[in-house]
Amino acid sequence: MKDCLTIVPRKRNMSDKCLAEKYQAGLIPVIFYGDNVEEFCGFLLTREIDCSQIKEGEIFDLDYCGEILHAQYRSSLTKNVDGVRVEILRYEILNDEDFTEKRVPILTTGTALGEKKGAVVYQACNSLILRGKRSQLPDYIRIDITNLDINQKFFVSDLELTAGIYPKQTDAQRLIVECKFKHTSMTLLDAFSGGLYQEAV
């Protein structure tokens, strides 16, 4: 899924037949609205967004004829259009003063289950950029790793954030922490002292 989605303009009075054909061709009909925005219609591209993965409140950057808008997914409606079941999405365009991005630290609490078995917890990500309304962004993210066992991993997509607060789409599969046994590499000196090296005769 792309961070910045392309809005393909469409006419409000488009016929049902044409709308059904566009939908079958991979265009997702969307209605955009906002406090200071006149409601308008458009399409998103199925190659850029998976509707089954969208969560209510999720925020996206939208490219509308070269202008970048920030929009929050609100709801969807499935209706029969010219014999085709079409899903129509609704996005709220956010005011620039309401929307922001903020890098927040990631803190871990507790002793992992795997640590008690001799493994080590590695934190691969110490901070994350969150997006959303200014008033809702947290000062930090706290993760309880108590139940993290050996060979288990915790990703950005596993975070339970406040509705309307999301990381960048490209960070969704980013690793935050994992629990595993410490890797020890054998040095050349170790090899000699352990008798693993035999001089050729």
Question: How far is it, in rounded angstroms, from Cα 199 to Cα 90?
Answer: 74
E strands, 94-146, in order: 99-109, 120-123, 127-133, 141-144
* Residue matched to tokens 């001799």: 118
Question: Which 3 state secondary structure label does DSSP give 155?
Answer: strand
Burial class (CB in 10 A: 0-12, 13-18, 19+), 112: buried
**Distance (Å) of CA 162 to CA 85, 138, 141, 197:** 32, 9, 11, 58
Question: How far is it, in rounded angstroms, from Cα 96 to Cα 93?
Answer: 9
- Per residue, the 3-state secondary structure of 20-35, as one string, reads HHHHHCCEEEEEEEEC
Mind listing the domains of the chain with CATH numbers?
4-93 (2.40.240.10), 99-180 (2.170.120.20)
> What's the pLDDT at 196?
43
How, if at all, do strands 127-133 and 67-81 pair?
unpaired
Query: Which residues, listed in sequence order, are joined to residue 187 by a DSSP beta bridge?
Result: none
Give me the tens of pLDDT residue by residue for the chain, a chain 201 residues long.
566 889 999 988 899 999 999 999 999 999 999 888 889 999 999 989 888 888 888 888 889 888 888 888 999 999 999 899 999 999 999 887 777 888 999 999 999 999 999 999 999 999 999 988 888 889 999 999 999 999 999 999 999 988 778 887 778 789 999 999 986 554 544 545 544 444 443
* pLDDT, tens digit (0-9, with 9 covering 90-100), for 55-89: 888 888 889 888 888 888 999 999 999 899 999 99
* pLDDT, tens digit (0-9, with 9 covering 90-100), for 86-105: 999 999 998 877 778 889 99
> What's the pLDDT at 30?
95
pTM of the full predicted structure? 0.61
Please give the helix or strand (H or E) that residue 18 lies within, else none.
helix 16-24
- Taking 3-state DSSP, the helix, strand and coil percentages for the chain, each rounded to the nearest 5, stand at 15, 45, 40
